[in-house]
Structure 1
Amino acid sequence: MNGILIIAHAPLASALRQCALHVFPDAGSALAALDVEAHTPPEQTLEQARQLQQQLGMPHTLVLADLFGATPSNVAAKLVDGIHSRLLTGVNLPMLMRAICYRHESLESLVSRAMMGATQGVVSVAATAPQNQSRRTSHDQDQHDHQQ
């Protein structure tokens, strides 16, 4: 099984963990979160991340960070080795949920599934007019409202 460590700007990491545990309460031992505070030195954050990774006690760890190039991802990049741990940035809730669902698979498979969850979880939803409102007039050639 793989451990999952979220490293993100405070309070995002803890909030994502809480959301995930709401759906998957049994995943608590495999899921850790590190909220990076604004004025915490990166060295201190790295040490906290190492401790959390060690506490997970898993042979492999997927590290999820919020924003590429920011302190959380820079710290996470120093934490991962590419063999026993991997890093994905741009964490979102669909990515995390997918990672939890497939945490029993190989690390490579987990990375792939988490990335698919992240991208497939972003959906453009067509806006619809509230009921009982008149239909808007437009000069579009298509006279039909399309709803999904």
Structure 2
Amino acid sequence: MIGVPLVTHGEIGTALLASASQILGGAPAQVMTLSVWRQDDPDDLVLRARELLERLDAGDGVLVLTDIFGATPGNVVSRLLDDGHVEGVSGASLPMLLRVLTARNGSLAGAVQRALSGGAEGVVHMNSDRCLDA
């Protein structure tokens, strides 16, 4: 099973995981969060993130979700990427997380694609026509 760490500003990852757990009916295995705060040292964060990845990797790889590309959480993750073994996707959202959590027994590349599609398809302009069709 693919491990899924969430590396985000503040409690964003914690809130996403709590919401996903509620929707799925329980806490998913091999998912943990790393909260990044303004005062955190980036080098220390890299060490903590590396430890998190090691804990979550059961041999099938790790897909790290982060909130903002180019910000500290994403920069920390970028220092740990290892193509085909540790992949990262920014723009973490609840639709993205749910899509990944419901398909973690396939390939890591497939999980990356599901994260991207979940994130993109989760952004919808809601208008009266669309809401009436739902």
* Same fold flag (TM > 0.5): yes
State the structure with more CA Rg: 1
- Structure 1 position 147, deviation (Å): 5.2
SS in 1 for 2:87: strand
- Structure 1 position 85, deviation (Å): 1.0
Contact preservation (8 Å) 2:84, 2:109? no
Where does residue 62 of structure 2 map in the other structure?
Answer: 61
**Counterpart AA for 1:119:** A
Q: TM-score, length-normalised on structure 1?
A: 0.82
Where does residue 82 of structure 2 map in the other structure?
Answer: 81
Contact preservation (8 Å) 2:78, 2:88? yes
SS in 2 for 1:2: coil
**Cα distance between partner residues in 2 of 1:49 and 1:76:** 8
Contact preservation (8 Å) 2:81, 2:87? yes
- Root-mean-square deviation (CA, aligned residues, Å) is 1.6
Residues 147 and 74 (structure 1 numbering): CA distance in 2 closer, same or farther, change over 3 Å?
same
| Greater shift in the superposed pair: 58-67 or 13-22 | 13-22
- Structure 1 position 26, deviation (Å): 4.7
Return structure 1 stretches of 4+ with deviation > 6 angstroms.
none
* Unmatched tracts of structure 1, length 5 or more: 129-145
Aligned length: 130
**Cα distance between partner residues in 1 of 2:79 and 2:14:** 21
**Cα distance between partner residues in 2 of 1:45 and 1:100:** 24
**Counterpart AA for 2:22:** H
Percent of matched pairs sharing the same residue: 33
SS in 2 for 1:102: coil
**Cα distance between partner residues in 1 of 2:132 and 2:33:** 39
**Cα distance between partner residues in 1 of 2:57 and 2:67:** 23
* Unmatched tracts of structure 2, length 5 or more: none
Q: TM-score, length-normalised on structure 2?
A: 0.90
Where does residue 95 of structure 1 map in the other structure?
Answer: 96
**Cα distance between partner residues in 2 of 1:102 and 1:3:** 11
| Greater shift in the superposed pair: 30-39 or 54-63 | 54-63
